A and B are shown apart, each in its own frame.
Chain A
C-alpha cells in the first residue's frame, strides 16, 4: 500500500509545513508513510524537546556527585561505597486523563524501566499528582483510577511506593498531571548506557510482544490512510506489571555478566526511538528486520510496528558471542528474545519488512537535527506584595485550622498511600506521611531520602520565585529528615509553548529552578518536559515538579515529624515575617488569591538547612518538620497528630498580626523539638551559625493551646484531617 503524503497527513502527524520541507530537503525525496511516522515520532515535542531545549541547556547539571546527567535514560549520582543512585521523574499526563488506571500504571512501568535499563534495581517509587477541583464531576473518578493504577503496577512488581504529593485545583480540570519517579541503586562499575558500539553486533528485542496499542497514529481517521486498517485501537497503552517484573529480573541477571554493549527501553515511540537513540549515540547505522519482531497480532504494518508503544519491551546491542547465553536467561524467565537486526557503519536507519526496504533514513538527522525553536516569550507580570493587614484576621484560628487541615489541600493522604505497598523490599525506614521518605540501602546503615515538591500557585504568581521555592522545599524536606541533598530530577508541566505567556512561565520557572539548584548544590540530572497541557485554550498552572534525593550516612540519626514525648521544647528555626500572599490561609479562609508568593532567600535556605541537618546527624535532634503549605500552625498540628501529643505555645512578643504569624508561609523555616536538657545547646549552636531560632513552647496534653487558650483539640483535628479524603472519595 503506497500512500501519497498530503499536507493533511503531514499535519495529522503533528509536523509543521516548514518541518516537512526540512525533511524533503534532507532526504532529497518525499518520505513514505512509515518514514513520515518515524520523523513525527522523533521530532515531536516529547522526544525532541524542540521548544524547551534552548532553555534546558541553561540548567545546572554537573557536580562532583554527578556520574551521568541528562541525556541518558535516567540520572546517575554517586552515593559512596562503590554504589550509585539512578533516578528520574517522568510525566504520563495525557494518557492518564483519558484512561486513569492504565495511564498511571504505564507511567510507573515506564519510569521503572528507565531506571533498570541502566542496571539499577529500583528501590523506591514516588509520584506527584495534580487533579482538578474536588467538585469537578470527573475528579473523583480520576483520583480513584490513578491511585489504583499506580498501586496496581508498583505493588505487583514489588517496588515500594514511598512518597508523593497531591494538589487539587480547577486549573487541572481538563488536564490532570501524573508524574512518576523511580530511584534505583547499582554498583558504580555496573551502569549501562545506550551508546551502541561495534559493527555487525546483534540488536536484540526482549520482553513483551508488540501490539497495536499506543500507536500515535491510531487516532488519525484519515480515509486514505485506513482503507485496509482494522478498527482503531485506543491510544493508551496497557500495562502488564507481571511481565515487567520478569523483565526486571532477567535484565539484571543478564547485566551481571558482560553481554550487554548498549541497552535502551522502548518507551515513547517504542522501537523507533530506542533504535535511533542507540545508533545515534554510537555514531552508527542500524538495520532492523521487522519480520523477526515478536508480534501479538498478525498483519501489523511496518508503520504500526515502528510506532507501537506496547509496554515492557527493551532493545539491546549484545556481544555476538554472548547472545546464546542471553537467550537462555530470557527464555528461563519466559520472555521473548529475538535478534531483530544489527549495527552497521552506514549511519543509516534501514528497516526491512516482508522482503522490502520500508525505510532508509539518516540516523543523525532523526536524532540530532530535529528543529529547535527559540519561541517568543513574555515574562509573567510581577504581583504586588499583599500586606498582612489587607488580609482579614480570624477571631477563631482553631476553626481556620480545622478548615485547612480538613480540606483538599492539607488533609491526610493516607487514603492514597495505604493503597500503595510502601514496605515491600524490607528497607522502608521512613514511611509516607513525613517530610521525606527514607529507604535503607540494602544491607547497610545508609539511607536514601526522597521527596517530590512544587507549589503551583506560587509558580503561577511568580514563575521565578515559584521555581526557586520548589527546589527549596525539596531541600528542606531532605534536610528535615537528616539527609544531605544530592541531586534533582524535574518534570516540567506547562501549557502550549506556542503562546508567549506560557513560554514565559516555562522560562521563569527554569530560571528559578536553576538558581536554586546551583545555590543548594542539587544539580538536575534527569527529567522531562510535558507541554500542551491545556484544554480549549485554558492551560494548567505552571507546574515544574521537583523530585530530589538525599543521603543519610546512618539511619539511626534520622528525624521524623512526630512529637516524641511530653515536655519537649518546641523551637522555630528561621525568620517569620508573616507572608500571606498566595498562602492557603489567604485563599481558603480569606478568599484572596492575589499577591506575590513568599520570596525565597537561597542563602538562608542553605544556612538553616545545613544547621538543621547537622543537628540531626550529630544526634541532637530527632524531631523536625519543614514549614510549607499552611504555615506554622499547620506544621505544628501535623507534628502533634503524628505523635499523639498536643502542645502549649506562646506567641512571641514581636510576632505581629497573629493570623500572619500562625498561617504565613515564609520560607526557610523548620520546627524542631528536643528534650529540655538539649535546648540550651541547640540555641547556642544556632546563634553561633547566625541561624534565627525562637522558642515556641512545649509538647504535652491532647490539645493545641496558644497563650492559654484552646485552639483546638487533637481529636477534632484528627477527625478533620483523616476524614476529608475517604469522605470525599465515598462521594
Chain B
C-alpha cells in the first residue's frame, strides 16, 4: 500500500502512524511536508495527530490552509481514502472535508486514557476489520475533542450512517458517563458523504500490539492494507 502521511509543523504522531501503517502493510509511508503543493499517487492519505502550528489559533485552523491541503482536498474529492486522527480530524473539519467542529473538552482539561468505542458502521473502508457494534479499546489524548455540529448536520450524519465510532462503556452502552469530552451523541469519529474520509479523535495507531497494552487499533490499518491488495 502506498500511503502518504502529511507532516505539519507541530505534528507529533506522524512517526507513530507511519509505524502502524508499516506494521500492517510492510511498506513505509511517504512523509509529505505541509509546504509542498503536490501529492504523489497514493492509496491512502493520513493527517496525523499533534499540535499543528501549536494549535495557537484554533486546533487545525492554520494547517487546513497549508499549501498541501489543496492537493489533499482534490484527492479526497476524487475518492482517495483520507484518514484524520486527532489533530488530523480537527484539520479535516477546518478544511471543510468533514462537517462540524471539535471544541474544548467539556471538562476543560487535556485527557489521555484508553476509552471504549462502539463501531457504529463497519461497512467502511476503514472499519471493515471490525464486527458490527463491536466494542474496541483505543486511547484518546486531546484537549479539543468535543464534537459539535448543528442539529440538521447531526441528523444527516446519524441518518446516513456516517457516525463511524461512538464513545461507550465497556459493555457497549452509550451514555453520558462513557463520554469523555462532551461530544454530541458521544461521537468519536465521522465519515464524509462518500465514505472515503474518516476523522476520529481516538488514536488507533497507539494500540497495535500486546507490548503497548492492546491491539484493537491494528484492525483499521490491516483493513486498509487488505483493501488495496484486493483492488
Query: What residues make up the interface of A, taking CB atoms closer than 8 Å to B?
Result: 148, 151-152, 155-158, 240-243, 245-246, 333-334, 417-426, 428-429, 431, 440, 555-556
Which residues of the other chain, A, contact B50 by a CB distance below 8 angstroms?
158
Rounded to whole angstroms, the CA-CA distance of A431 and B206 in the bound complex is 13
Interface size class of B (residues with CB under 8 A): 20 to 34
Which of the residues B12, B19, B56 comes within 8 Å of A424, measured between beta carbons? Answer: B12
B140 to chain A, nearest CB (A): 10
Q: Contact: A555 with B111, CB < 8 Å?
A: no
Q: Which residues of B contact A418 (CB under 8 A)?
A: 111-113
- 0 or 1 for each of B57-97: is its CB under 8 Å from A? (1 = yes): 00000000000000000000000000000000000000000
Given contacts A155-B110, A425-B16, 6 further A-B contacts (CB under 8 A): A242-B53, A418-B112, A423-B112, A426-B20, A426-B206, A555-B211
Determine if B9 and A425 form an interchain contact, defined as CB atoms under 8 angstroms apart.
no
**A440: B residues at CB distance < 8 A:** 211
> In the assembled complex, which residues on chain B have CB atoms less than 8 Å from the CB atom of A431?
213
> B16 contacts A426, CB within 8 Å?
yes
Q: Are B51 and A424 in contact (CB under 8 A)?
A: no
Question: Is B28 an interface residue when CB atoms closer than 8 A count as contact?
Answer: no
Q: Which of A155, A246, A419 contacts B9 (CB under 8 A)?
A: A246
B50 CB to closest chain A CB, in angstroms? 6
B145 interfacial contact with A, CB 8 Å: no
Which residues of chain B are within 8 angstroms of A246 by Cβ–Cβ distance?
9-10
> Beyond A423-B203, A424-B12, is A242–B213 a contact (Cβ under 8 Å)?
no
Q: Does B152 belong to the interface (CB within 8 Å)?
A: no
Chain B interface, >50% SS class = mixed
**B13, CB-defined interface residue at 8 Å:** yes
CA distance A423 to B214 in the complex (A): 12
CB pair A426–B19 under 8 Å, yes or no, is yes
Collect the chain A residues with CB atoms within 8 Å of residue B109's CB. Answer: 148, 419
CB pair B141–A242 under 8 Å, yes or no, is: no
Interface membership of chain B positions 6-26, coded 1 if the CB is closer than 8 angstroms to chain A and 0 otherwise:
000110110110011000000
Tell me the smallest distance from the CB of B32 to a CB of chain A, in Å. Answer: 14
Residue B51 contacts which of A156, A420, A423, A556 (CB distance < 8 angstroms)?
A156
Chain B min CB distance to A560 (Å)? 10
A419 to B113, CA, bound (A): 9
Q: Verify if B205 is at the interface (C-beta below 8 Å from A).
A: yes
> In the complex, what residue of chain A is closest to B139 when comparing beta carbons?
A423
**B212 an interface residue at 8 Å Cβ cutoff?**
yes
- Cβ-based interface call for B158 (8 A): no
Q: Is B54 an interface residue (CB 8 A)?
A: yes
A152, A419, A426, A428: which contacts B111 (Cβ < 8 A)? Answer: A419
* Interface: B43 (CB within 8 A): no
A555 to B209, CA, bound (A): 13
Tell me the nearest residue of chain A to B9, going by C-beta: A246
Q: Is A426 a contact partner of B205 (Cβ separation < 8 A)?
A: yes
- Say which residue of B53, B55, B141, B143 sits within 8 Å of A423 (CB atoms): B141
Q: Are A245 and B141 in contact (CB under 8 A)?
A: no
Give bound CA distance, A19 to B88, whole Å.
57
* A425/B15 in contact, CB under 8 A: yes
Distance, CA A152 to CA B110, complexed state (A): 8
Closest to B11 in A: A158
Q: Which 9 A-B pairs have the closest CB atoms?
A: A158-B12, A242-B54, A426-B16, A156-B51, A421-B141, A421-B112, A419-B110, A429-B211, A423-B206
